[in-house]
Amino acid sequence: MRNYKMNNKHQFIAVLATTAIALGLNSCSDDFLKEKKNYGNFNQTTAYSNFNGAQERVNNLYYWMLPTADGGDGNGTNRPNDWTPVGNPDKWSKSTEEYGGFSIFVDPEEEITYNFNSDGKPNFDFFYVANDVYSPWGHIRNCNDVIENVQKADFTDEEKNMLLGQAYFFRAYMYYHLVTIYGGVPIIDYVQDPILGKDGDGSKLIVARQTTRDCVNFICQDLERAASMLPARWQNEAQDFGRVTSGLAQAFLGKMKLYWASPVFNRADEQTRWEEAYTANKQALDLLRTGGFGLAYATNGGENNGANWARIWDDYIGSDGSTTEAVFITLHNTKDNVSGQPDYGKYNRWEHSIRPRNTNGGGGYTPTAEIVDLFPMADGLKPGESSIPYNKVNFWLNRDPRFYRTFAFPGVQWQWSEGGVSLTDPSLNGIIPTDAYTTGRNYALWSYMWNDNEDDLEKVTTSSGYWAELLTQTTDKAGSHSIYVRKRTDDLHLHSTPFYEYINSQSNPKGFMKCAAPLLSMRYAEVLLNFAEAACGAGHYDEAIGALQQIRARVGYTAANNYGLPAGISGDRAKLFAAILYERQVELAFEGNRYGDMHRWMLFDGGQGQSAIKSTWALTGFGGNTCTYLGVKPLNGTKRHQIVMYCLDASTTDPTEGNRPDPISLDEDLSCINGEYKDNKVRELADFYEIFLGRKDVNLDGNDEALTIQYRPTYYFLGLRQNAMQTNPTLHQTVGWHDLGRNADGLFDPLSDTLP
């Protein structure tokens, strides 16, 4: 990718003060998503003179605004889309039970303010106003540029609809992220002239915040337009697969309506909002089905411990051959980058990130003990609520099929293609593994440690002890873990033609970096769960339960045990809500959805502390406390842990290596009911755990036990940064945040339909 440089820079006074974003075309790509070029400067007078030129401008919206596999933290870190969480341990997911480590949102020792940190850098600044292409307002300006110029271009109505529908979607997509973070923001639906005075007195550059309701209506209007203009499925999929469809636009409309109906915006639990969300999501399901979207492997996803469910990510369109699950998708490739040439290589580095260090991977992501322990048992119920006893040492026995495709644990195969690990890897410090992997087809994870001091395991970075299979150096224990995130992996056992090109070297790219696996940012399963939640809120309980049953039937639950759903939910709105949110935790784990769910349901503190910010902000619906209403524990005041499997031994070599059983492939029956195993390999692995290994849940949130998660009540609606208020003095600060100009508390109320 050639990093584009702006032709002109101006000092703006508008909230949209960014730049005349100079992004455009050089040529037309026949495969707009797989190649994803970053086109250079464009000529405004000729870009829209023909359909191909205009389409390249639309293609560029995809380049900058599609979710990326690297995810983002919302601070504009000099790369496309830095605001959409996708399941990585970013500041969004590290504010949930999925990952540990205090993010800025939950750090008890650091508070987000309207100002900058002591190092001069913002701790969060998504709204930021800047003269660069990474500002959200720059993306909105690009969408407005397409909309204005296509409307007046000499194209057919069909061509105009095709282009406009995509631009309307992306403008709404950008505003969705702004509004869910800040509430009401300025609505800019035209291209502002960046040169002061070109529009007269410059008043069009001064745009105040609009009410949250007006912003939500604006987003929904754009999405309605997009849904009416776009096809349910593009006819030429070889060229256009991955473009926005009418179903995606309607699904995002349903997602926006669901957020608007959720407690963070809907403190009084207004039923009309739930009904609107129900209608929008029901229409989304209808449109998606018209386009051939649905639950892939709907009738056999749970076979062999969720093998087919895991294959959703092993197909370019998330499909079982007849049904496509990928509603919103980002494509990648394995093209080489050539020095001095445009960067055509667009790699998905998730596979590299989650693979263990001794596979030449990035070291793996550490799930918390809390999320491992909350996954259902084999009967579909939570541990502790199930009739199946939960053994915390043999935590992997008798679990929901999705458990085995979401986590990797000691004694399980995790195959990859091509050659083995290089024994000349300098990071190994010359230490040769006792069982070097000559091929990835032989790889099994043995991620446990041994130590002669059990108390030492209480620390995040253990000061002594050894890890099996060179999963860490003896001098560096930080980051070592027993349980790995396995979700969305390209497992050779399931997929014989991997998306990655395995590179056995220490160069860049290395390991699994060069990977073309697609990113599924929204699946049909999410839309179905959005519908279930909206239907519950609107009182359509049977339809909500029916949607849950579809999700659970795919992974093997049947009517014989009520699809593993808890009793008593059919007539209890709160219990049904809780069951739906729990299903989202499991089905959508590590896909970037959990922070949004916790934010909109105010699950950090149940909504307590809102009345202290403003009396009218108190929850009057949902029993006055969403956590109590749902029967869940607030995240505030808690700590997260990692599971460390260990044995007590003072040896310098693995004391259990000679006693290891054969690893399991996940084709086995992983159940043990009343002490009876159905598979001998499973019994042997369970015995190995019981005889040789113990379990410690080690603090992931620092060694100071006094420090616990603190998500401040003001974070449900973040305030504006100092630079935004200085750039546009008409921007009122959010209630609960310091207003720089007035030197007082902010006046803008995200929950009010009245402007200050």
What is the three-state SS of 525-589? HHHHHHHHHHHHHCCCHHHHHHHHHHHHHHCCCCHHHHHHCCCCCCCCHHHHHHHHHHHHHHHCC
Residue 12 neighbours by CB under 8 Å, 6+ apart = 18, 129, 131, 194, 196, 205, 727
- Whether the pLDDT of residue 178 is over 90: the answer is yes
Q: Residue 341's pLDDT is what?
A: 59
Q: Residue 5's pLDDT is what?
A: 24
Q: Amino acid identity of 241?
A: F
How many C-beta atoms surround the C-beta of residue 648 within 10 A? Answer: 14
Dist CA 377 CA 383 (whole Å)? 6
Q: Residue 47's pLDDT is what?
A: 87
- Whether the pLDDT of residue 153 is over 90: the answer is yes
- Whether the pLDDT of residue 591 is over 80: the answer is yes
- Whether the pLDDT of residue 34 is over 70: the answer is no
Asked which of 319-328, 360-369, 473-482 is least confident by mean pLDDT, the reply is 473-482
**Helix-helix angle 573-587:541-554, to 10 degrees:** 30
Q: Amino acid identity of 87?
A: G
More confident residue, 49 or 35: 49
More confident residue, 241 or 30: 241
Q: Residue 438's pLDDT is what?
A: 63
Q: What is the DSSP letter of 3?
A: P
| Nearest CA among 350, 375, 371, 373 for reference residue 362 | 350
Please report which confidence band the pLDDT of residue 573 belongs to, taking 50, 70 and 90 as the band edges. very high
| Nearest CA among 44, 42, 50 for reference residue 26 | 42
Read off the pLDDT of each residue in 62-66 and give the average, rounded to a whole number. Answer: 93
650-663 b/e with 16+ CB inside 10 Å = b? eeeebbbeeebbeb
In tens, the pLDDT along 713-736 reads 999 999 998 888 888 888 999 999
Dist CA 188 CA 204 (whole Å)? 10
- Whether the pLDDT of residue 432 is over 80: the answer is no
Read off the pLDDT of each residue in 485-490 and give the average, rounded to a whole number. Answer: 98
Please report which confidence band the pLDDT of residue 122 belongs to, taking 50, 70 and 90 as the band edges. low
Please report which confidence band the pLDDT of residue 441 belongs to, taking 50, 70 and 90 as the band edges. confident
Read off the pLDDT of each residue in 409-430 and give the average, rounded to a whole number. Answer: 69
Q: Residue 135's pLDDT is what?
A: 87
Q: Residue 343's pLDDT is what?
A: 60
The values of phi and psi at residue 641, to 5°, are: -135, 160
Read off the pLDDT of each residue in 275-289 and give the average, rounded to a whole number. Answer: 98
Dist CA 556 CA 400 (whole Å)? 9
The percent of residues above 70 in pLDDT, for the chain, comes to 84
More confident residue, 155 or 125: 155
Q: Residue 387's pLDDT is what?
A: 96
- Whether the pLDDT of residue 679 is over 60: the answer is yes
Q: Which of 652-656, 718-722, 748-752 holds the top average pLDDT?
A: 748-752
Dist CA 267 CA 289 (whole Å)? 33
Residue 430: C-alpha distances to residues 470, 473, 518 (Å): 11, 11, 37
More confident residue, 556 or 71: 556
Please report which confidence band the pLDDT of residue 74 belongs to, taking 50, 70 and 90 as the band edges. confident
Dist CA 318 CA 16 (whole Å)? 37
Q: Residue 430's pLDDT is what?
A: 42
Q: Residue 198's pLDDT is what?
A: 53
- Whether the pLDDT of residue 3 is over 90: the answer is no
Torsion of CA 238, 243, 245, 248, to 10 degrees: 130
More confident residue, 335 or 13: 335
Q: Are 93 and 105 in contact (CB under 8 A)?
A: no
Q: Are 643 and 482 in contact (CB under 8 A)?
A: yes
Asked which of 102-111, 224-233, 252-261 is least confident by mean pLDDT, the reply is 102-111
Predicted structure pTM score: 0.92
- Whether the pLDDT of residue 524 is over 50: the answer is yes
Q: What is the mean pLDDT of the chain?
A: 87
Please report which confidence band the pLDDT of residue 195 belongs to, taking 50, 70 and 90 as the band edges. low
